[in-house]
Structure 1
Amino acid sequence: MSKKINVNVIGAGVIGLTTALILQRNGYQVEILSEHWPGDLDINYSSPWAAATWRASLYIKDERVQEYERISWNEFWTLSENPETGLMRVHIYDFMDKKPDFGSDIWFKDFVPEFRVIPLEELPSGVEYGVSYITVSLNVQKYLQWLLDQFIASGGKRKKIHLSHINESFFADNEIDVVVNCTGVNARTFSGVMDKTVFPSRGQTISVWAPHIKNNQDSFTFVVPRKGGEVILGGTMEMNDFSENPDPKTAEEIIQRCVKLCPELTLDKNLQIIRHNVGRRPYRTNGIRIEVEIIKNSTNKDVIICHNYGHHSYGYSSSWGSCLEAFKLIEENIQRNIKVDQICD
């Protein structure tokens, strides 16, 4: 590019940070605008609460999401070689109460290591189907901070700010060429977006100290080990639930389910609970929104607005793929605008 394209990214969750890093590394001048940052633990900041394992869902038939997850898998596998990222390789056992209708093939079986369908006789009681393979688990606090550090080291800028309307990110600043809306679940109430197809999917988990757990058990009940000895027990998926506080009864049920699935948790008899967690996944009825619109600023200049939100429970798993898609869409629209300007000149 002959001129630096100035971009504001709204939101510093995993989608905002990944999008900003990709753009900054590709020659754009990017600033992230966000009220919440890595290290914050706020219910309206979804990314720090995720259990975060790359887990390919057998239920998702959306080929677009599958491609996002494949791209993200390749990136995570490489990043897991770097201890600073907070990523570690683990063996996952993915159990399902009912055998999913996934057609004649399992789309990810050829690229994840050690994939196998678990024989019926090896499955836990009450489970109809299961697969196992090597995957990547993320210590989300460490990974989010790593993304931010990489972004800053690449020349990116950051601003802690509360925005009430998307126009506040560009309208009065004639230098801004692109805005990327990565507001997640907040896209529902963010003025100028107000996407009522977005609503929270509440998830409750428990962080425990269990460094002896090295394998990942997954289903609606999950046991996710992280680097350093912390293990996340879950979980729940409560649609359109806005409650913020952990429910003690739910916590006890989670523990009982997880211990039944993974008896090694109580090897030392008592679970050492670190904290109880409640987060809000950004569910969107029509799936991930990655699309562009053009809005005029105060001087009648065209500003590219790229939306990238609505990732629900697969935000981390699809992050690199979906953010690369947003990047490509931005590039296409910039080139289109350049051609239009040349014709007008």
Structure 2
Amino acid sequence: MTAQTADAIPDKSSLTTKHVVVLGAGVIGLTTAISILESASKTNYLVTILASHLPNDPKSIDYTSHWAGAHHVSHATGTDANSSSANTEHPEQLAIDQETFRTMWDLSAQGSDAEKCLMRIEQVEYYHEEIPVDKDSGQARHHLSWYPDFKILSSATLSSSPLDLLAQGIRSGVSFNTLTIDTPVYLRYLYQRFVDKGGIVLRGRVDDIRDLQELQRLLHELQPTASDVQIDALINCTGLGSRTLLGVEDDAVYPLRGQTVLLRAPWITFGRTISSKGKEGKEDLWTYIIPRRSGDIIVGGIKTPNDSFPTPRPETTIDILRRSLRLCPELLHPQPVKSAEIRSGTTQLSTDSPSIPNLDQLSDSDLLNLIEPLMVEAGCGLRPARNGGVRLDVEWIESTRRIPIIHNYGHSGSGFQSSWGSATRAWRLLEGVL
């Protein structure tokens, strides 16, 4: 175990009877820690987050949450996250996502402390397959039908779209209201909310989750006044770290690499996604446009299993930009604009349609020149995927004492949209064993 710095710990007299240590400060760790503090009296819990990476750190491939898009579009489907079919096999995951959406929707309300982190939008999802019809009712079924103002797009709407959807192989689509998350801003909000509630944040790394004595020593090294604060439970929210963390060593965990491009296009206030299952030997195709309240836009993306390459691949950036412009030609402003105008907010918006060149005939260099005024950065992250899905359970370790470990990891690309529901269930597991 290694230690670096520590935030201030409350006066010893304010410490409570049950000390819970949360490992990890991504969106899952932060949200779980907040839920424990806010769901029970502080006379019951003292909560410490111990993590190697924190929200205010520079972006790193080792801190996945910084790189997420993100929007709330549930992946709780009985077949595949890229499918248009109804949810039939994962009712618990659906409940988790719905709880998270309700919480985030409230947080996105005007005047909320988190309003600046979130943006309510209309989202359109396009698919390369038909939406299935229920045999009994004759009605189309869709796993996103619970979102506000959900609609199945008519064939007439698809065929008349200026996006030339049918030529792109689109066979169906839906629209609904949801929200997007400015992930770096939201992570800092969660961090501050946790600290303001009396939570403790320490920077350090755990090598062996079973070595309670060493963990206690680490806490003392980070903050000597915590030396005699007994640890009563651990919450494992280490994401990809659960593959190598001694005492867990979950070989079902693997990296699912994503790559995105961050653009500045404040005139885009809607979301679009095209999803399709990759054919034999090819990865899933997944193109998305995610606007943020700040005026930035995340476009992507890819899903490449067991790929840990730490920097954006230029050829992937080009591919993402081509797909994104095909899906959202509105990204290109009708009149030529300069980077400085966009970033300063002095760009004059127009209702005219942009003139888009033939993307298939455009060279890579010409494409980059075309999009350069909007470019902020290319990025990549490693989603903490897990064969078998999220792990949310309890196990016990025998060390100097016998204590419970609540595992809450393996959310893949669904960490933000599952965060509050997963945190509630982790807290319930904790309540059941303490």
Fold agreement, TM-score > 0.5: yes
Residues 101-180 of structure 1: matches in 2 within 5 Å? 105-110=141-146, 112-123=147-158, 124-125=165-166, 126-168=169-211, 173=216, 175-180=230-235
- SS of residue in 1 equivalent to 2:125: strand
Closer, same or farther: CA 77–127 of 1 in aligned 2, 3 Å: same
- SS of residue in 2 equivalent to 1:131: strand
Report the counterpart of residue 47 of structure 2 in structure 1: 30
Report the counterpart of residue 365 of structure 2 in structure 1: none
Q: Which whole-Å CA distance do the structure 2 matches of 1:89 and 1:277 have between them? A: 24
Report the counterpart of residue 91 of structure 1 in structure 2: 122
Residues 243-322 of structure 1: matches in 2 within 5 Å? 243-267=309-333, 268=335, 270-271=370-371, 272-298=374-400, 301-322=401-422
Q: Give the counterpart of 1:54 among 67, 72, 87.
A: 72
- SS of residue in 1 equivalent to 2:246: coil
Query: Greater Rg, structure 1 or structure 2?
Result: 2
Q: Which whole-Å CA distance do the structure 1 matches of 2:211 and 2:177 have between them? A: 44
Closer, same or farther: CA 277–170 of 1 in aligned 2, 3 Å: farther
CA deviation map 1:159-181 (0-9, x unaligned): 01122222356655370001000
CA deviation map 1:166-222 (0-9, x unaligned): 235665537000100000112111121111100000000000000000000023100
Q: Which whole-Å CA distance do the structure 1 matches of 2:141 and 2:170 have between them? A: 20
State whether residues 124 and 174 of structure 2, in contact with CA within 8 Å, keep that contact through their aligned partners in structure 1.
yes
Report the counterpart of residue 72 of structure 1 in structure 2: 100
Gaps of 5+ in 1: 335-345
State whether residues 171 and 297 of structure 1, in contact with CA within 8 Å, keep that contact through their aligned partners in structure 2.
no
- State the Cα RMSD in Å: 1.9
Report the counterpart of residue 254 of structure 2 in structure 1: 199
**Cα offset, 1:313, TM superposition:** 1.1
CA deviation map 1:120-167 (0-9, x unaligned): 232323211211111010000111111111100100001011222223
CA deviation map 1:280-306 (0-9, x unaligned): 0011001000010111232xx221101
Q: Which whole-Å CA distance do the structure 1 matches of 2:148 and 2:308 have between them? A: 38
Closer, same or farther: CA 95–83 of 1 in aligned 2, 3 Å: farther
Q: Which whole-Å CA distance do the structure 2 matches of 1:273 and 1:83 have between them? A: 29
Q: Which whole-Å CA distance do the structure 2 matches of 1:136 and 1:330 have between them? A: 30
* Aligned positions, number: 330
Gaps of 5+ in 2: 1-15, 82-86, 135-139, 159-164, 217-228, 275-285, 337-369
Q: Confirm whether residue 210 of structure 1 aligns to residue 256 of structure 2.
A: no
Q: Which whole-Å CA distance do the structure 2 matches of 1:83 and 1:263 have between them? A: 34
Q: Which whole-Å CA distance do the structure 1 matches of 2:212 and 2:270 have between them? A: 43
Report the counterpart of residue 61 of structure 2 in structure 1: 43
Q: Confirm whether residue 19 of structure 1 aligns to residue 32 of structure 2.
A: yes
State whether residues 206 and 215 of structure 2, in contact with CA within 8 Å, keep that contact through their aligned partners in structure 1.
no
Q: Which whole-Å CA distance do the structure 1 matches of 2:238 and 2:291 have between them? A: 28
Closer, same or farther: CA 166–71 of 1 in aligned 2, 3 Å: same
Q: Which whole-Å CA distance do the structure 1 matches of 2:377 and 2:48 have between them? A: 33
**Cα offset, 1:102, TM superposition:** 8.4
Q: Which whole-Å CA distance do the structure 2 matches of 1:194 and 1:182 have between them? A: 13
- SS of residue in 1 equivalent to 2:416: coil
Q: Which whole-Å CA distance do the structure 2 matches of 1:320 and 1:80 have between them? A: 14
State whether residues 169 and 179 of structure 1, in contact with CA within 8 Å, keep that contact through their aligned partners in structure 2.
no
Closer, same or farther: CA 258–201 of 1 in aligned 2, 3 Å: same
**Cα offset, 1:84, TM superposition:** 3.6
Report the counterpart of residue 337 of structure 1 in structure 2: none
Report the counterpart of residue 12 of structure 2 in structure 1: none
% of aligned pairs identical? 33
Closer, same or farther: CA 102–313 of 1 in aligned 2, 3 Å: farther
Report the counterpart of residue 225 of structure 1 in structure 2: 291
Q: Confirm whether residue 239 of structure 1 aligns to residue 239 of structure 2.
A: no
